[in-house]
Structure 1
Amino acid sequence: MEKNQIIKLEITDLSYEAMGVAHYEGMTVFVNNALPGETVKARILKVKKHFAFAKIEQ
């Protein structure tokens, strides 16, 4: 996974900051403005060792 990559995610939960939580290739991805049960295409904004942040593209 790398910055600016667009991936398809299924949101499974909400974080304590009300961000959608998804999993992709063993990493946790936090998606802004996403709700559990949604399937979204998201652009990766920042990648850390065990998690990443993304925003909805579609």
Structure 2
Amino acid sequence: MNSITYRMALAHSKLDAEISREQKRRIPDSWRLLRLKKLRLAIKDRMHRLIGSRLQGTA
């Protein structure tokens, strides 16, 4: 894992924690949750593309 994928994994886990915190609030902000989830998904997609391109390059 290089520094880019490490930072993306770190950002993904921070977003997970933030989503969890928001969901535990008495009245969760649905717009904030939507934005956080979209960011998390974008990071996940980007990580998979980076890792996939590396695996295809070595095969």
Shorter-chain TM-score bucket reads under 0.3
**Higher percent of residues as helix:** 2
**Higher percent of residues as strand:** 1
Scaled by the length of structure 1, what TM-score is found? Answer: 0.20
